[in-house]
Amino acid sequence: MTDTPQRSRPLRVLAAMSGGVDSAVAAARAAEAGHDVTGVHLALSANPQSFRTGARGCCTIEDSRDARRAADVIGIPFYVWDLAERFREDVVEDFVAEYEAGRTPNPCLRCNEKIKFAALLDKALALGFDAVCTGHYAKVVTQPDGSRELHRASDMAKDQSYVLGVLDGRQLAHAMFPLGDTVTTKDEIRAEAERRGLSVAKKPDSHDICFIADGDTRGFLDARLGTAEGDIVDETGARVGTHQGAHGFTIGQRKGLRLGTPAPDGKPRYVLDISPVTNTVTVGPAASLDVSALTAIRPRWCGAAPAGPAAYTAQLRAHGGETGVTAEPVDGGLRVAFAEPVRGVAPGQAIVLYDGTRVVGSATIASTDRAAAGAA
């Protein structure tokens, strides 16, 4: 059954309110269910003006004010907590370091792991709260023995369980996702917000990376890592172009390569490999992106770790589909073999394993085996 922590009594709930419509409705539903709810907005930038503004933000001064107004309408206490330093260290600096190392990180997963369900949850528990409530679309199912499982949202179109796959059993024990059980459209959530008198009802969703003010990821990385001319080479090692920094590329990228030498077959070429040590980017045909297996590190299990190899489905990006895999914990990491080759798999990304709708756990991709060319 779907449940909230210790449902037999009203809970003291800390509702993380971003200033958007989803978190506002989630807080309102928690309060309507009879819980003692306090709203909190996380100040994640030492200089909020440097984060996105208007419709593109989730960490701005406007968002803080929108969250406060929503809390006032719901009738719950509201606070702003400064987690800017922790966010800078655990999310922003990690993001830069991963790109510098030639990997492709997902900062939303890192934020959920390190900020919303680590720093925030730890502080909430220390203050006597029972649960942290967010506007994520996922659900927690309580088993007869009291254990809790993370599952996909009832509405697969809005499911956000992928970015929550980093949560462990302790964190799930104190997580609340009031939107996860409803099979509703975003328009219906907005209509509910309007019925509740929440001014964020028509506020556009935030997009992309909250701490990159103009959406220019390459420019953001250039400013922090500098630029340095390097070679773009094909699979034979022949130089076909130049670039201003290997950190500006991701595995599977096609656009923006600006190659001076066309491929012999005239077909598009894609980024196959990134070497930060030599500042070299390797490109080749789409078929060379096919991956048959991968090794992942830092697994985090939403419950007990698997005892051996088993069949699952896997999701490789936030808005991607599922693919069949066999996965096995090996030497503190995870070894995954795909039922059929997949493309666009990059070190640094997260792989999240599912057993039906249940999230088994997640891990960070460290290396891949190319279907035709061996290990990448």
SS3 282: strand
Going by C-alpha positions, the residue among 72, 71, 70, 79 that lies closest to residue 194 is 70
Domains and CATH numbers, the chain: 12-202 (3.40.50.620), 227-288 (2.30.30), 290-375 (2.40.30.10)
- pLDDT at position 230, please? 95
Per-residue pLDDT at 172 exceeds 90: yes
Per-residue pLDDT at 57 exceeds 50: no
- pLDDT at position 34, please? 96
- pLDDT at position 62, please? 84
pLDDT band at 373 (very low <50, low <70, confident <90, very high): low
- pLDDT at position 47, please? 62
Handedness of CA 265, 266, 267, 268 (dihedral sign): positive
Catalytic residue list: 111, 210
The H or E element spanning position 30 is helix 21-32
pLDDT digit string, tens, across residues 184-235: 778 899 999 999 999 999 888 776 688 887 788 999 999 999 999 999 999 9
pLDDT digit string, tens, across residues 40-53: 999 887 665 544 44
Going by C-alpha positions, the residue among 57, 59, 153 that lies closest to residue 115 is 59
Rounded-to-integer distance, Cα 225 and Cα 245, Å: 9
Rounded-to-integer distance, Cα 329 and Cα 310, Å: 10
Rounded-to-integer distance, Cα 195 and Cα 202, Å: 12
Task: List CB contacts of 303: < 8 A, sequence separation 6 or more.
Answer: 147, 149, 169, 172, 360, 361
Tell me the pLDDT of the chain averaged across its residues.
Answer: 89
pLDDT digit string, tens, across residues 61-98: 788 999 999 999 999 999 999 998 999 999 999 999 99
Whole-structure pTM value: 0.89
User: Quick check: 296 and 366 in contact, CB under 8 A?
Assistant: yes
